[in-house]
Structure 1
Amino acid sequence: MSVVNLPKAVENFVAANNAHDSEALFAVFADGATIRDDGKTYVAEADIRGWFQSHLIAPKVVITPTSFDGDRLVASSDGDFPGGPLNFAFTFATKDDLVTDLTIAAA
């Protein structure tokens, strides 16, 4: 498997997610960051933390990057959910090595 070079903010997101560390994951996001997933938008800290818990931490999701181009990470995601592994596209906006916006869609 080839190594996918990632910007620091994206690398930190993948590492914190794969460690299942919600505090480290939250630290990757800038104040006022936005997450878009499953047709919903999460902005408030409590909503973002809830999304982490239900979508990443509880199902023990592990993200394996397969490509990165521009601002788009394509990755295989597996965990305690039916049908996995599944491929997702994570589109990031970043500033100062922090995620300011994340949109997730099936790839």
Structure 2
Amino acid sequence: MTIQTAKLSDPAVRAFVTAVNAHDREAFMQLLAPGATMADDGSDRDLADWIDREIFTSHGHMEVDREARDGRSLVARYRNDTWGEMRTKWDFIIEDDGRISRFETGQA
């Protein structure tokens, strides 16, 4: 059962999913803390390169199936034009100012 994006618990994570699904790169970038980092399947990646390739140029889309850790951990069906659809996990570190300093994703 999919959780509606508007009902996700953490405001930063909710905004992250909204920006991904709207293909709004500017809104996405505003959510990130300076020096934000990310990992995919356990390996650190270049953030700008990864988001362009895996989200924005490939029309990424998330449908969240469940959340944990007060909304800072998600299991979602993620799809893009490159890889199709896969079950993924997403974990977020949110700073005191509400911006995302790190996210990690990978197959669930």
Q: Shorter-normalised TM-score: what interval? A: 0.7 to 0.9
Q: What's the CA shift for 1:39? A: 4.6
Q: How much is the aligned-residue C-alpha RMSD, in angstroms?
A: 1.7
Distance 1:54 1:38 in 2: 15
Task: Determine helix, strand or coil for the equivalent of 2:82.
Answer: coil
CA distance in 2, matches of 1:64, 1:40: 23
**What secondary structure is seen at the aligned counterpart in 2 of 1:85?**
strand
Aligned partners of 1:22 and 1:49 also within 8 Å: no
Cα-to-partner distance string for 1:31-81 (whole Å, 9 max, x where unaligned):
121111145324xxxx42222111111110110111110031110012212
Structure 2 Cα separation of the partners of residues 2 and 17 of structure 1: 16
Aligned to 2:75: 74
Helix, strand or coil: the match of 1:60?
Answer: coil
Letter in 2 for 1:27: Q
Give the aligned residue type for 2:27. Answer: A
Q: Which runs of 5+ in 2 are unaligned?
A: none
Q: Give the TM-score normalised by the residue count of structure 2.
A: 0.83
Flag structure 1 segments of 5+ consecutive residues without an equivalent.
none
Give the letter for the 1:85 counterpart. Answer: E
Does the 8 Å contact 2:63/2:78 carry over to 1?
Answer: yes
Q: In the comparison of the two structures, how many residue pairs are matched?
A: 102
Identity of aligned residues (%): 28
